[in-house]
């Protein structure tokens, strides 16, 4: 049985994921939307369908659960679809000192930001290559540096960048591509749920979810390995070349100013 190609978008209910889904739909792609929030996915599917585009598949799965990727794959196959493009956007952050944060929650963050992203990429790579499609992994400028105050989150994004760039090289000549999208601060529900304030962030670094999504889509379709939206974030990414003894204390002070003590959790 020949399966129809879809763009699989995780973390699609809000923010950058929803913005990317809308762009791919507008460009004529059939979508499969994944997130924990079924209500959010249904609302987005309704909105896309109302534009005259095919209604996206709604797949409400919690990707922190190890079995979810397999269940998702089985459901897609049963419906006669397979991913030609995989957009791994789902992720969450924990704010605070690593030694004082909940250990189980930090491991769940690794499960989502690293394991699920890797699982879905590798699981669907054969169909991606067959369709000469690609993988778009949403990382962060945080991935270019260690991040005291969000140590595990920054480390997970460093993994995403490294994995994606290596995968892009391995795919060279196959007709498929891999792109890491590395936004800076984006005003979405992520910061609100984390108890983080963007007031201390330079305005020149901030872009909307829609601006980030457009930059990511352009870079992905151009076959770029790395996309850092916005001039300010490109400059900030160069901090990776500065001495760590200068960068680390500055990052820690910035993180403390951006944190509201009563909240420390965010998930998309």
What is the per-residue pLDDT across 50-105, written as a single tens digit (0 to 9) for each? 999 999 999 999 999 999 999 999 999 999 999 999 999 999 999 999 999 999 99
Nearest 5°: phi and psi at 265?
A: -135, 135
Whole-number mean pLDDT of the chain?
Answer: 88
Is 188:15 a contact under the CB 8 Å cutoff?
yes
Supply the residues annotated as catalytic.
153
At 268, the pLDDT band (50, 70, 90 cuts) reads: very low
**Is the confidence at residue 267, as pLDDT, over 60?**
no
At 138, the pLDDT band (50, 70, 90 cuts) reads: very high
Between CA 32 and CA 42 the distance in angstroms is 11
At 262, the pLDDT band (50, 70, 90 cuts) reads: very low
Split into its structural domains, the chain has a count of: 1
* CATH code of the domain in which 42 resides: 3.40.50.720
Q: Which residues are within 8 A (CB) of 28 and not within 5 positions of it... i.e. 6 or more apart?
A: 53
pTM score above 0.85: yes
**Tokens for 40?**
């959010």
The pLDDT score that the predictor gives to residue 264 is 39
The pLDDT score that the predictor gives to residue 2 is 79
The residues facing 180 across adjacent strands are 137, 226
The pLDDT score that the predictor gives to residue 263 is 39
What is the per-residue pLDDT across 197-249, written as a single tens digit (0 to 9) for each? 555 555 556 789 999 999 999 999 999 999 999 766 776 666 676 667 666 76
At 194, the pLDDT band (50, 70, 90 cuts) reads: very low
The range of the structural domain enclosing residue 40 comes to: 4-267
* Segment among 37-41, 181-185, 196-200, 225-229 with least mean pLDDT: 196-200
**Is the confidence at residue 250, as pLDDT, over 80?**
no
At 186, the pLDDT band (50, 70, 90 cuts) reads: confident
Buried b (16+ CB within 10 A) or exposed e, 159-198: bbbebbbebbeebeeeebbbbbbbbbbbebebbebbbbee
Q: What's the mean pLDDT in 256-261?
A: 57
Between CA 28 and CA 149 the distance in angstroms is 41
């Amino acid at each position: 049985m020949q399966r129809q190609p879809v763009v699989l978008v995780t973390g699609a209910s809000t923010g950058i994921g929803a913005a990317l889904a809308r762009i791919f739909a507008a460009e004529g792609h059939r979508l499969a939307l994944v997130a924990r929030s079924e209500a959010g996915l249904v609302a987005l599917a309704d909105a896309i369908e109302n534009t005259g585009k095919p209604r996206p598949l709604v797949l409400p799965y919690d990707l922190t659960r190890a079995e979810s990727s397999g269940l998702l794959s089985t459901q897609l196959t049963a419906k006669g679809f397979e991913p030609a493009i995989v957009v791994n956007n789902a992720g969450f952050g924990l704010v605070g000192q690593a030694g004082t944060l909940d250990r189980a929650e930090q491991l769940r963050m690794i499960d989502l930001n690293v394991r699920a992203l890797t699982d879905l990429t590798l699981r669907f790579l054969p169909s991606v290559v067959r369709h000469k499609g690609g993988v778009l992994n949403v990382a962060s400028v945080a991935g270019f540096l260690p991040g005291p105050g969000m140590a595990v989150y920054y480390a997970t994004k460093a993994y995403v960048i490294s994995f994606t760039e290596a995968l892009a090289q391995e795919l060279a000549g196959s007709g498929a591509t891999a792109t890491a999208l590395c936004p800076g601060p984006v005003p979405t529900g992520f910061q609100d749920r984390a108890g983080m304030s963007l007031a201390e962030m330079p305005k020149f670094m901030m872009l909307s979810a829609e601006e980030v999504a457009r930059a990511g889509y352009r870079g992905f379709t151009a076959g770029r390995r790395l996309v850092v939206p916005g001039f300010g974030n490109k400059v900030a990414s160069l901090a990776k070349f500065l001495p760590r003894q200068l960068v680390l204390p500055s990052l820690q002070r910035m993180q403390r100013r951006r944190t509201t003590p009563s909240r420390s959790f965010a998930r998309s």
